[in-house]
Chains A and B, each alone.
Chain A
């Protein structure tokens, strides 16, 4: 079975993100970029499914700038077989889902595994949108995936605990944090990844219109909290919470 894994290039989670002075966005120049952490989990899951023998080929995809090749190379080094870069900057989840739909129609995978959210726009939407456009089943926030020829049994992280759903294939799965711990690519695998095929296409080649629907009016710093006081003892804390803050 073939599997598609979309990944996104984002500002690394360790970077202290700064809002641009002109209010048009956040500083991304000279900032460390990485694969979205949830997508690393998606690639890892795909590789594990291949190691188990259920999956025969993994195609990694990104919709992003030319530099997003770096993230595709990371996916290849982790174990993906080939990669596709769709060159487009700043596409919205709906547009990304449309590009992915076109690639799904071309590649015919049985399963697409994506991160549940990208840590830049925190939108949490692309997987569900792709499932909608394809008319496929969706298993979001997965903490366990059991794949067989008949379908995918997905355990999901939900508000009160865990929920399990059975999905007919083809299906979409989005990853949550507890699904697995992604491996680090070994040096030999990084070398090998350089020789794996990486194809570049344009959204227009796929017949997809990426005109954004949203306009960013402004981006600003959220209100800052002021640091308060240090208390010397539990007794002082409880007394302050009672008489000063009046919350207990």
Chain B
């Protein structure tokens, strides 16, 4: 039976975590369909993804902003045709998929990090301190995918047909009021090849800008620890960690971050980790490939200069 992936749009295309979810789906079955809510250009992009055999596009005001209630109702309407329903573990996927699962009387498995079989998956628990293998007895499976654990399906290579979604009821219990989404030239945190994150030691929102020059030179996304976000130095969507975003870039640079387990949960799969911290005993050095002990206010300008 085919498997269905709910896509997360990213402007006129689908997000990189969606491509990781497609890659996870392809480990379950070769017949991978993608559901796109709103956005015909994004549906065309989904149709070009390698491994995708069909795209279903849902148009209409109820779907434009990805509201959970109508989206879940639509997925439930589509569910009889699929053995597995997946979504990336993005804010959208995490919001919608548990609702879908409960409507189907299924126990969701969130943030899967590996597919061991059609009913067996691995996922991290306790802030990444343990890795559990779980097997489900539910006939239908509802899953979200930890994008950092699956190489994204190539953006090109497919030529799937795009179909209109069937009509589904809109429960009409919520409405979209507005959004404050920062526009940035930088890559998205969960898709960036390089990430530079600042912690509490950055000291202020102004100082946080010290990371920008370096980010520009490296084509990096900027992240933050929870402490830096709570203190108002960085916006909430910068938070990397157990309860923020999970990233696995080629290069992760942690600046003035101690390395609490909750932070490590969001970045320890990075290929190369650099830590800059004035305390040589900071736990972050236990996971860093390259550690630089010293004052960030001296080292960051030097780094920006050295990068030319």
**Complex CA distance for A210 and B162, rounded to whole angstroms:** 41
Provide the A206-221 mask, 1 if CB < 8 A to any CB of B, else 0: 0000001111111111
User: Could you tell me if A237 and B102 are in contact, using CB atoms closer than 8 angstroms?
Assistant: no
B103: nearest chain-A partner, CB-CB = A132
Tally chain A residues at the interface, Cβ within 8 Å.
82
Among B77-85, B150-158, B198-206, B288-296, the stretch in contact with A: B288-296
List residues 155-189 of chain A with CB under 8 A from any CB of chain B. Answer: 156-168, 171, 176-178
A135 on interface, CB distance cutoff 8 Å: yes
List residues 44-82 of chain A with CB under 8 A from any CB of chain B. Answer: none
User: Could you tell me if A216 and B95 are in contact, using CB atoms closer than 8 angstroms?
Assistant: no
> If the complex has contacts A160-B237, A164-B179, are A93 and B90 also in contact, measured as CB distance less than 8 A?
no
Among B27-35, B37-45, B56-64, B67-75, the stretch in contact with A: B67-75
CB-defined A-B contacts under 8 Å, sample of 30: A17-B127, A94-B105, A117-B243, A122-B111, A122-B242, A123-B110, A128-B98, A129-B102, A132-B72, A137-B171, A138-B174, A140-B94, A141-B95, A159-B92, A164-B179, A168-B173, A177-B226, A178-B229, A217-B120, A219-B125, A219-B132, A220-B130, A221-B130, A227-B291, A228-B288, A228-B289, A228-B291, A230-B292, A231-B291, A234-B303
* Interface set of A (CB-CB < 8 Å, partner B): 11, 13, 16-19, 26, 38, 92-94, 97, 116-117, 119-133, 135-141, 143, 153, 156-168, 171, 176-178, 212-222, 225, 227-231, 233-235, 237-238, 240-241, 245, 247-248
User: Could you tell me if B302 and A234 are in contact, using CB atoms closer than 8 angstroms?
Assistant: yes
User: Could you tell me if A237 and B274 are in contact, using CB atoms closer than 8 angstroms?
Assistant: yes
Inter-chain contacts of B69 with A (CB < 8 A): 137-138
Contact among A140, A160, A234 with B68 in the assembled complex (CB-CB below 8 Å): A140
Q: How far is the CB of A203 from chain B (nearest CB, A)?
A: 16
Contact among A178, A215, A237 with B134 in the assembled complex (CB-CB below 8 Å): A215
Contact among B91, B133, B177 with A165 in the assembled complex (CB-CB below 8 Å): B177
> If the complex has contacts A19-B129, A168-B173, are A214 and B237 also in contact, measured as CB distance less than 8 A?
no
B285: nearest chain-A partner, CB-CB = A227
Q: How far is the CB of B128 from chain A (nearest CB, A)?
A: 6
**Complex CA distance for A92 and B190, rounded to whole angstroms:** 29
Inter-chain contacts of B290 with A (CB < 8 A): 228-231, 237, 240-241, 245
Q: How far is the CB of A6 from chain B (nearest CB, A)?
A: 15
User: Could you tell me if B303 and A237 are in contact, using CB atoms closer than 8 angstroms?
Assistant: yes
User: Could you tell me if B134 and A214 are in contact, using CB atoms closer than 8 angstroms?
Assistant: yes
User: Could you tell me if A165 and B175 are in contact, using CB atoms closer than 8 angstroms?
Assistant: yes
- List 8 extra interface pairs beyond A26-B126, A158-B91, A177-B236, CB under 8 A: A19-B129, A97-B102, A128-B98, A128-B99, A160-B182, A161-B235, A163-B181, A166-B174
User: Could you tell me if B251 and A219 are in contact, using CB atoms closer than 8 angstroms?
Assistant: no
Tally chain B residues at the interface, Cβ within 8 Å.
93
Inter-chain contacts of B2 with A (CB < 8 A): none
Which 4 residue pairs spanning A and B have beta carbons closest together?
A228-B289, A132-B102, A128-B98, A129-B102
Inter-chain contacts of A230 with B (CB < 8 A): 280, 285, 290-293
B306 on interface, CB distance cutoff 8 Å: yes
Q: How far is the CB of B263 from chain A (nearest CB, A)?
A: 12
B94: nearest chain-A partner, CB-CB = A124
User: Could you tell me if A222 and B120 are in contact, using CB atoms closer than 8 angstroms?
Assistant: no
Q: How far is the CB of B214 from chain A (nearest CB, A)?
A: 11
**Complex CA distance for A139 and B134, rounded to whole angstroms:** 29
Contact among B8, B92, B230, B245 with A178 in the assembled complex (CB-CB below 8 Å): B230
User: Could you tell me if A129 and B130 are in contact, using CB atoms closer than 8 angstroms?
Assistant: no
User: Could you tell me if A213 and B138 are in contact, using CB atoms closer than 8 angstroms?
Assistant: yes
Inter-chain contacts of B135 with A (CB < 8 A): 214-215, 217
> If the complex has contacts A237-B292, A238-B307, A247-B250, are A227 and B110 also in contact, measured as CB distance less than 8 A?
no
Inter-chain contacts of B280 with A (CB < 8 A): 230
> If the complex has contacts A213-B138, A220-B130, are A241 and B274 also in contact, measured as CB distance less than 8 A?
yes
Q: How far is the CB of A70 from chain B (nearest CB, A)?
A: 20
User: Could you tell me if A122 and B125 are in contact, using CB atoms closer than 8 angstroms?
Assistant: yes
Inter-chain contacts of A130 with B (CB < 8 A): 102
User: Could you tell me if B299 and A234 are in contact, using CB atoms closer than 8 angstroms?
Assistant: yes
B168 on interface, CB distance cutoff 8 Å: no
A225: nearest chain-B partner, CB-CB = B287
B1 on interface, CB distance cutoff 8 Å: no
**Complex CA distance for A212 and B110, rounded to whole angstroms:** 16
A131: nearest chain-B partner, CB-CB = B99
Inter-chain contacts of B285 with A (CB < 8 A): 227, 230
> If the complex has contacts A133-B102, A248-B218, are A216 and B134 also in contact, measured as CB distance less than 8 A?
yes
A162: nearest chain-B partner, CB-CB = B180
Inter-chain contacts of A237 with B (CB < 8 A): 274, 290, 292, 303
User: Could you tell me if A124 and B98 are in contact, using CB atoms closer than 8 angstroms?
Assistant: yes
Q: How far is the CB of A167 from chain B (nearest CB, A)?
A: 5
Provide the B170-212 mask, 1 if CB < 8 A to any CB of A, else 0: 0111111111111000001010001000000000000000000
User: Could you tell me if B242 and A178 are in contact, using CB atoms closer than 8 angstroms?
Assistant: no
User: Could you tell me if A138 and B95 are in contact, using CB atoms closer than 8 angstroms?
Assistant: yes
Inter-chain contacts of B177 with A (CB < 8 A): 153, 164-166
Inter-chain contacts of B179 with A (CB < 8 A): 158, 160-164
